[in-house]
Amino acid sequence: MRAWAVVATALAGVAATGACATNTPLSQPGGSLGDRAERVDRVVVVQLIIVFRADIRAADPAFLAAVSKDIGTPLAYLRPISGGAHLLSATLPPTSVNDLVRRLQNRPDVMDVQPDVTVRRQ
């Protein structure tokens, strides 16, 4: 019984300090917990709902690589969603989300793009 309490306490400590926030080992330069938490705060993973032209194969790795290069941000294909849209993700600084949406909207092969946000009724 005591072993479970020790494990639970250790896991709670790891969660509280954010020690699992990145893949950088603490032994590497800049690997202190404070530095790692700071790096994590500098980027966000944003999911985007994108409707491409009908002739575009959005899941094609070559197409995604070309779009990523053109907009300067790596995109990852997640899955198709209803209405002919696709869910993609990008990791970028929080202040760059609107800029990324504008860059995608300016592409001729993109019909619509919106950040995927949760809407709650109040």
Write the pLDDT tens digit of every residue in 19-72.
333 333 434 444 443 333 344 557 889 999 999 999 999 999 999 999 999 999
Reported as half-sphere exposure (CB side, CA atoms, 13 A), residue 84 has a value of: 10
In sign, the C-alpha dihedral spanning 93, 96, 85, 59 is negative
SS3 for 95?
helix
Q: The whole model's pTM is what?
A: 0.63
SS3 for 111?
strand
Residue range 107-122, pLDDT digits in tens: 999 999 999 988 888 8
Residue that has been written with the tokens 């530095």 in this structure:
35
Give the domains, in start order, of the chain with CATH numbers: 2-40 (no CATH), 43-115 (3.30.70.260)
